[in-house]
Amino acid sequence: MTDNWTVTLPCTRREAEALGQDWEFLSALDPVPTIVGEEVVAFDDNSWRIVAYFDRKPSKQAVAALQSQISGGHEAEIIVEKLPEEDWLVMSQQGLAPVHAGRFFVHSAEFDSAAPTGAVPFIIPASQAFGTGGHETTSGCLAMLDQLKRQGRRYGHIADIGTGTGLLAFAAQHLWHSAYVTASDIDPVSIDVTARNAAINNLALGQGKGRISLCAAMGTDHEMIQRRAPYDLVIANILAGPLIELAPSFAEIIRRNGSLILAGLLDVQADNVLRQYRRHGFSLIRRRDEGDWPCLHLIKRRRYGWRRPLRPARGTSQPPGDYGTW
């Protein structure tokens, strides 16, 4: 019989980021928890929370230690609760349940059934989720990429900014197998994860055609990302705030009539994101909604940014380690 508990504590975004990456601190707790950081109020860095998952009842010392990492944590409302077994199973299996979107079928190594006939399978080990997002953002992007291919669109230079586990870069490389594909993430750990996942799926890494180049970067602020521009297609499945921050940078690196796929934002955030991108010469071509999570396909309509003397802020405040579900 499982005995699973959660500790939920309000915090700031900065505190959630720091705690989620403090492996030395977390490994000293008994039992060692899994930390999930969540955005509570859109665009409000002071309205986040952490949820610590324990495989048995946490001690008072473990709870106090978590509180000590949060400013005013001992005065904040903290929730310690035992999860019913069926709830824990649903929660834990969310990271393992296969995703079938377009021609793609994504599953973990533990999946022991056959993929649907004709589907393109990818194996992505379950990763520690940090931040917002989930199956809806993943499936929305995969379905959007699949549709672009079916429409006959051709892309020779592709970038996946905020690649997480590498899945969307893998899908793009499969669809446009002769393209130069660049995959980046703010978190070096994510780049290591992507490299391992590429090996699991027999995908080639490197600088040439049909290969995936990896780098750790804040947004587009990396020599390799800039050197390989302009891009025909950029994919960014991150958070709404960083997407808004990166609008001028994406305008700089995408060629005229190039495509941009945005995801990771909530439906209530879409208008603000689109407003910013329209200011930088993008037009919305298609919107695909998966629950509360839209996936947006935009086209850069006018010549803006590339080879024009701009000074965009190429960095981003995207939290490190934000892998979403996959």
Burial track 234-249 (b if 16+ CB lie within 10 A, e otherwise): bbbbbbbbbbbbbbbb
The residues facing 159 across adjacent strands are 182, 234
Identify the sign of the CA torsion 242, 245, 249, 255: positive
Alpha carbons 146 and 216: distance in angstroms, whole number? 27
Q: Where are the beta strands (DSSP E) in the chain?
A: 5-11, 34-39, 48-54, 79-82, 99-101, 104-107, 120-123, 157-161, 180-185, 212-216, 231-237, 254-263, 282-290, 293-300
Q: What is the DSSP string of 245-310?
A: HTHHHHHHHEEEEEEEEEES--GGGHHHHHHHHHHTTEEEEEEEEETTEEEEEEEE-S--STTS--
End-to-end C-alpha distance for the chain, whole angstroms: 27
Q: Are 31 and 3 in contact (CB under 8 A)?
A: no
237 in a labelled binding site: yes
Hey, which residues does 226 pair with through a beta bridge?
none
| Strand-pair category, 34-39 with 254-263 | unpaired
162 is in an annotated binding site: yes
Q: Which residues are annotated as a binding site?
A: 138, 162, 185, 237
Q: Which residues are annotated as a binding site for S-adenosyl-L-methionine?
A: 138, 162, 185, 237
